[in-house]
A and B are shown apart, each in its own frame.
Chain A
Amino acid sequence: MGGGKYETQMCVIIVEDIFGKIVSKVLETLLNESCQLATLVYKLKGQIKTVLIKKSLSTLINFGFVTFSLDTNNRTTYVADSEHIQYMISAPRACLIAKTLYGPSAESICIELISQGRLTISETIRRIKATDETAEFSNIKHSFEELVKSNFLIRVPAVESEIHGCPQFITSFDPFALPTAIMEKKEEKVDESTDTASTSRKRKADSTPSDADAGQYWKINWSRFNGYLRDELIIDYLIGGGSTATMTHMNHKKGEEEDGDRTQYITQNVAHLMFKMNEVRAKPLSMDSITVSITDLQRLVRENELNLSKPDIEFACQILVDESDGIVRKVGESNGGLYTVDIRHAIRQICRHHCESLIREQFEGRAIRVMRLLENRHFLDEEQVEKLSMMSGKEAREMLYALVEEGYVFNKPVGRSNDFQPARTFYLYYVDLPRTVRGLVEYTCKLVRNLVIRQRHERTENKQLLDKDANVQPIIENIRASDQLDDASKLAQIAEVEEMYLPGPDRAQLARFRKAQATLLAAQDQSIRVLLAFKLFLASGQS
C-alpha cells in the first residue's frame, strides 16, 4: 500500500492497543511485506506459535485489516491494508454520525459492527438486546435499514466457491440489498435471553446457525463514512468549527446576536444542503464538483422541513460565494441561480490552511508571507524574496533556509555556468504543496503514534487507581439503587465508601487522568481528520 515508516508504526500501535502484541506482530510482518502463510510462519518462528498466527490472521481478516487473494502460483497471499486500520481511530466519529442522522439505535448498530468486525443483522440485533433490554427489535431493524439505504453499511460479499483452499467471493451483487428474513423465530429466542440474561452470551453462538440470514454479513462502509467526513471538513472550513460558538468566519458582530445567529443558521444549513445534493454518490470520495441550483435547495428545504425562505437561501449563497476563497462559485442563472462547490479546490485550501497553521507555530507569521509569495510567483531567488516580502536580507535568508529545512519550501540550483561552481550558482525557491503534504502525512502519523503510545502509558501509570475505581463503582451503584435508604443517607454512604477506597488525592489523580485521556483521544480524532484531508489531496493528483 506504500505507507511510510511512521504510517506502518502507527498502524501497528493502533492494533496492538486493541488486539494485543501477538496480532500486532503478525500485522507488522505483513505491513513490511505481503506474503503467504508459510512465509509468515517461517518469519515468526520461535516468536509466535502457528496456531496463534492463524488466529491472528483470522482476526485481522475479520476486521478488514488484512485481505487475501490467490497469486499466480495459486498460493493464498495476505496483504495488510493500512488505510483500514486507521479507521479504528475515526470509529467513534462514525458512531457519532450515525447517531446524529438516525438516532441511538443506529449508534448501537455501528458500535456492534465496529467491535465485531462483521455481523449478520440478526446477530447485531441480538447483541444490542443483550446489552440493552429496552431496545426494540423493530426500532433496531429500522435503523439498520436506514443505514444500509444511505450506504453507511455494506454487505460482506458471500463466498461463491473455493479454489486451492482460498474462498472466492461473489463479485456481482447488490451490496445494499437487505435480506427479507431477519431474526426468524426471534420471539422465543428473545424471550429466552431476557429470562436467563446470565447465559445469553453463551447461547448466542449456539443459536447462530438457525438464523435465516446466517452467513449474510454486514460491515461498516468506511469509504461512505469518509465521504461524509470529507463533506464535514469542507463545511467546517466554509463556515468555521462545527459545534463551537466561535464561528467568527462569517463575521457577525455582537449587539445583533439574534441576527447573527439567524445568519449563521441560514448559511450553515444551506452549506449542508449543498452537500446533501450529492450525498449518496457512487464513489463516496469522488472529487467532482457539486452543482446545485436555488430550486434544488428550495426542494431540499421542503424535504428536510427547514425554516428557510427563498431570500434566505439566496442570501446564504451570496455569503458563501463571497467568503469561501473561491470554493463556492456562481456559475449561472438557470433555476433561480446555479452554484458549484469546487471539491478539489476546497481540499487544497484545507491542506494549505493546515500547512500555514503549522508554519505559524513553528516559525512566525512572516514565514507564511514568504510561503504565499512563492506560491504566487512560483520561482524566486533570495533577493527577490527579500524585496517582495519587505524583509531584510538576513531575515529573508534565514526564513527561507528554515522553511527549506522543514520541507515547506524547496530550492533548485541554477548555474550561471555549467560547472555548478558555488560562486556562479544561485538558488531558485519554490513551493511544491503535494511534496510538502506527503511529508506532513508521515509527520501526522508519527504524531498519532505518539498520542496512542502516550495514552497507553498514562493508562499503565494509573492502572492501580483504575482498578480500585472499577471495584468501588459497583458498590456505589448498589447504594444508589438501594430502596431502603433516603437520598441524604445514600449520599453520606457514597461519600464514606469513596473516602475509604479512594481518598481525595486519588480521586483528584483519577480526574486528572480522565482529562488527559480525553485530550489525547480527542487529539487523535482531530489529527486523523487532518490526515484524511492530506490523503484526499494527494489522491486528487493536484499540483
Chain B
Amino acid sequence: MTSVKEELISEVESEAQVMQIVQAALEGIDMDALTSMTPGLPQVARQNAINSLLGSKKLVIQQAPGGLLRLKVNTSQQIAGTEEEQVIYGLIEESKTRGIWIKELRDGSGLNQLQLRKTLKSLETKKLIKTIKAVGTTKKCYIVFDLEPDMSLTGGTFYSDQQLDSELINTLISVCGSYASSRRKHAIESNPNNIQMQRESSYIRPQEIAQFITEKRVLNVPLSLEDLERILEVAVLDGTIERRADGKIRACAPRSSISPLVSVPCAVCPVVEDCRPGYVISPQSCDYMKNWLAEL
C-alpha cells in the first residue's frame, strides 16, 4: 500500500506542496514544523523537494537567533556572486531603508567574522551596497546601494553629516518668529480700530511660512510641512509664537518684563553656595556687588 502511494505523489507535486507552506509562513518555517504540516509526504520526497527548491533558489535557508534553521522564500534579487554574497545581500535588501547592523548580519547569515567581512567588502566594491552612519551613534549600517536612507538614520532635513545643524534650526526658528511678528504688526497697523480684525489677521497658516522660506531660499531644499511643524513646535515652546486650535499660528505679544530677581548679582553668582557673612566670600566683600553698585 505504501509503495503505491509513494509512486502516486510525483516530484512536482511535493515541490508545490512545500513551496505553498513556506510561502504562507512569512517569518519562514523550520524543519520540524514543515514535517508536521506535510504528513502526506514521505521523508525522502520532502528532502528531495527542498533540495530541489534550494537549488533553483526559490527557497533559502536562514539561521534564526536561536540557531534553528529556517526555510524562507527567496525574495531577493538575483545577483551575480557567491552563495554568501547572495545571503548577505538578501538580508540587507530586506532591511530596506532602515539599514542593517553588522551584528545582525552575522546572526542572520551564520557566517563567521572573516567570511562576513570579505563578503561585505566584495558587495561594496560591486556597488551593490553602501554603509551609512546613523545619527547620534557610531554604528555602521549597511543599506542597498540605490536606496536613500531613512529619516531615523539621517535625522532628516536638519542634519548634515550626521550632525544636527543647530545653526540652521536656529535660523529657521527666528525666521518663523520674525515673519509671524511682522504679520501681527501689520495686522494691528492696518486695523487700528478693530481689535477683532487685528486678531484675526495676525493668525497665519503654517503653509504661508513654508512658502516664504522656500521663496527666500533659506534652505537649499524645499522645506516639507512636517519639518516646518517641528520647527513651529519648538518656536511655541520658546514662546515666540502661539497656536490656535485650528492650527493657525501667530506671534506672541512680546513680554518685556523680567523678574526683578535677576537684577541682583546673587541670582547669577557662581559662588553663591560659598557665600557667608563674615567669611572670605561674603556680601560685604563681594566683587559682584561692588561692580553692580559702582555701575549705577
Direct contact of A and B (CB under 8 A): yes
Interface flags for B241-275 (1: CB within 8 Å of A; 0: not) read: 00000000000011111111111101110001001
A117 interfacial by beta-carbon distance below 8 Å: no
Is A390's CB under 8 angstroms from B234's CB?
A: yes
**Interface residue? B195 (CB, 8 A):** yes
Whether a CB of chain A sits under 8 angstroms from the CB of B94 is: no
Contacts of B128 in A (CB 8 A): none
- The reply to whether B189 and A450 contact each other, CB–CB distance below 8 Å, is no
Q: Which residues of B contact A454 (CB under 8 A)?
A: 283-284, 286, 289, 293
A446: which B residues are within 8 A, CB to CB?
266, 272, 275
C-alpha gap A246/B261 in the complex (Å): 18
One of B36-44, B83-91, B95-103, B161-169 at the interface: B161-169
Interface residues of B in 219-244 (CB under 8 A from A): 230-231, 233-234, 237-239
CB of A192 to closest CB in B, whole Å:
48
Across the two chains, which residue of chain B brings its CB closest to A370?
B237
Contact of A447 among B188, B199, B253, B267 (CB under 8 A): B267
C-alpha spacing A398/B115, complex, angstroms: 42
Whether B158 is near chain A, meaning CB under 8 Å from some CB there, is: yes
**Chain A neighbourhood of B283, CB < 8 A:** 449-451, 453-454, 457
Q: Does B277 count as interface, using CB distance less than 8 angstroms?
A: yes
Pick from A58-66, A408-416, A467-475, A516-524 the stretch touching chain B: A516-524
A315 and B259 CA atoms in complex are apart in Å by: 29
> Which of chain B's residues have a CB closer than 8 A to the CB of A354?
259, 261
Closest Cβ–Cβ distance, residue A309 to chain B (whole Å): 14
The B interface, classified by DSSP as helix, strand, loop or mixed, is helix
Inter-chain contacts of B238 with A (CB < 8 A): 365-366, 368-369
Residue numbers in B under 8 Å from A388 (CB-CB): 233-234
Q: List the B side residues contacting A458 at CB < 8 Å.
A: 293
The distance from the CB of A465 to the nearest CB of chain B, in whole angstroms, is 15
B234 is contacted by which of A358, A369, A527 (Cβ under 8 Å)?
A369
| Interface residues on chain A, number (Cβ under 8 Å) | 61
Q: Are B233 and A530 in contact (CB under 8 A)?
A: no
Contact, CB under 8 Å: B260 / A523: yes
A455 to chain B, nearest CB (A): 9
Q: Is the CB of B158 within 8 A of A527?
A: no
Q: Does A362 contact B (CB under 8 A)?
A: yes
A323 to B268, CA, bound (A): 30
- A391: interface (CB < 8 Å): yes
Beta-carbon contact of B267 and A361 below 8 Å? yes
Residue of B nearest to A365 (CB): B238
Residues of A within 8 A of B231 (CB): 390
Q: How far is the CB of A274 from chain B (nearest CB, A)?
A: 18
* A322 on the B face (CB < 8 A): yes
B205 within 8 A of A: no
Measured in the bound complex, the distance between the Cα atoms of B268 and A246 in whole Å is 25
Q: Is chain A's binding surface mostly helix, strand, loop or mixed? A: helix
Is residue A372 contacting chain B, with contact meaning CB distance below 8 A? yes
CA distance A353 to B238 in the complex (A): 13
Is there contact, CB below 8 Å, between B253 and A362?
A: no
Residue among B233, B261, B277 making CB contact with A357, cutoff 8 Å: B261
B257/A241 in contact, CB under 8 A: yes
B65 at the interface (CB under 8 A from A): no
Please tell me if the beta carbons of B166 and A392 are within 8 angstroms of each other in the complex: yes
* A319 vs B266: C-alpha distance when bound (angstroms): 37
Q: How many A-B residue pairs have CB under 8 A?
A: 141
How many residues on the B side are at the interface (Cβ–Cβ under 8 A)? 48
Contact B195 A318 (CB under 8 A): yes
* Least CB distance, B184 to chain A, in whole angstroms: 8
Convert B133-158 into 0s and 1s, putting 1 for each residue whose CB lies closer than 8 angstroms to a CB of A.
Answer: 00010000000000000000000001
Is A283 in the interface zone, CB < 8 Å from B? no
* CA–CA, A536 and B100, complex, Å: 56
Taking CB as reference atom, which chain B residue is nearest A447? Answer: B266
Cβ of A69 within 8 Å of any chain B Cβ, yes or no, is no
User: Are A527 and B237 touching (Cβ within 8 A)?
Assistant: no
Taking the closest CB of chain A, its distance from the CB of B226, in whole angstroms, is 13
Contact in complex: A395, B166 (CB < 8 Å): yes
Docked Cα-Cα span, A494 to B237, in Å, equals 61
Binds B, one of A29-37, A47-55, A147-155, A249-257: A249-257
Is A503 part of the contact surface with B, judged by Cβ < 8 Å?
A: no
* Cα–Cα distance between A536 and B280 once the two chains are bound (Å): 35
> Does B4 touch A at the CB level, under 8 Å?
no
Q: Establish whether residues B237 and A389, one from each chain, have CB atoms under 8 Å apart when the complex forms.
A: yes
Question: With an 8 A cutoff between CB atoms, is B121 at the interface?
Answer: no
Pairwise interchain contact B192-A249, C-beta atoms closer than 8 A: no
Q: Given the complex of chains A and B, what is the CA–CA distance between A253 and B237 in angstroms?
A: 26
Q: B residues within 8 A CB of A395?
A: 166
B237 contacts A372, C-beta separation under 8 Å: yes
Judge whether A390 and B169 touch: CB under 8 Å: yes
Partner of B267, one of A248, A358, A515, A519: A358
Whole-angstrom distance from the CB of A511 to the nearest CB of chain B? 10
Interface residue B185 (Cβ < 8 Å from any Cβ of A): yes
- Bound CA span A354–B263, Å: 12
Residue of B nearest to A362 (CB): B268
A373 in the interface (beta carbon within 8 A): yes
Residue of B231, B237, B294 ringed by the most chain A CB atoms within 10 A: B237
B237 and A357 form a contact (CB under 8 A): no
- Neighbour of A251 across the interface among B136, B188, B263, CB < 8 A: B188
Which chain B residues border A318 with CB–CB below 8 Å? 195-196
A323 to B250, CA, bound (A): 12
- Whether A526 sits at the interface, judged by CB under 8 Å, is yes
Q: A390-B164, A515-B293 are in contact. List 10 more A-B contacts (CB 8 A).
A: A251-B184, A251-B253, A259-B192, A358-B267, A447-B267, A457-B284, A516-B293, A526-B261, A526-B263, A527-B261
20 A-B contact pairs sorted by A residue (CB < 8 Å): A240-B256, A251-B188, A251-B254, A255-B189, A353-B255, A357-B259, A358-B267, A369-B234, A390-B230, A392-B164, A395-B166, A446-B272, A449-B277, A450-B289, A454-B286, A454-B293, A457-B283, A516-B293, A519-B293, A529-B260
Closest 10 CB pairs of A and B: A526-B260, A357-B259, A450-B283, A516-B293, A354-B259, A392-B164, A453-B283, A361-B262, A457-B284, A447-B266
Residues of B within 8 A of A (CB): 136, 158, 163-164, 166, 169, 184-185, 188-189, 192, 195-196, 199, 230-231, 233-234, 237-239, 253-264, 266-268, 272, 275, 277, 282-284, 286, 289, 292-294, 296
